[in-house]
Amino acid sequence: MVSQRWLVVCSAMCSAGLLWAAGLVGGLLAGVRLVPTPAAVGVAAVLTVPGLIAGVLGNRWYYRTTHPRRPWRLTSWVPPHVPRWTSMLAGILFSGFWLALVIAFAGLDGGVEPRDDPRQLDHEQQISLGVLGALAVGGTFLTAAVLTHHAAPEPTHTQSSGQPLA
Going 121 to 28 to 44 to 49, the CA torsion angle's sign is negative
- pLDDT higher at 71 or 8: 8
pLDDT of 69 reads 58
CA-to-CA dists, residue 89 to 23, 95, 99, 117, 157, angstroms: 17, 10, 15, 36, 28
- The predicted structure's pLDDT at residue 159: 47
Question: What's residue 43's pLDDT?
Answer: 97
Q: Is the pLDDT of residue 166 over 50?
A: no
Residue 2 has a pLDDT of: 66
Q: What is the pTM of this model?
A: 0.79
Domain locations in the chain as residue ranges: 4-151
Choice between 78 and 123, residue whose per-residue pLDDT is larger: 123
Summarize pLDDT for 102-115 with one digit per residue, the tens: 999 988 877 666 66
Q: Report the C-alpha gap between 146 and 74 in whole angstroms.
A: 18
How many residues does this entry show for the chain? Answer: 166
- Report the sign of the C-alpha dihedral through residues 93, 99, 103, 104, in that order: positive
Computed over every residue of the chain, the mean pLDDT equals 82
Ramachandran assignment for 7, one of left (phi > 0), alpha (psi -120 to 50 degrees), beta (any other): alpha
Q: What's the chain's Rg over C-alpha atoms?
A: 18
Q: What is the pLDDT of residues 17-68, one digit of tens each?
A: 999 999 999 999 999 999 999 999 999 999 999 999 988 888 777 766 555 5
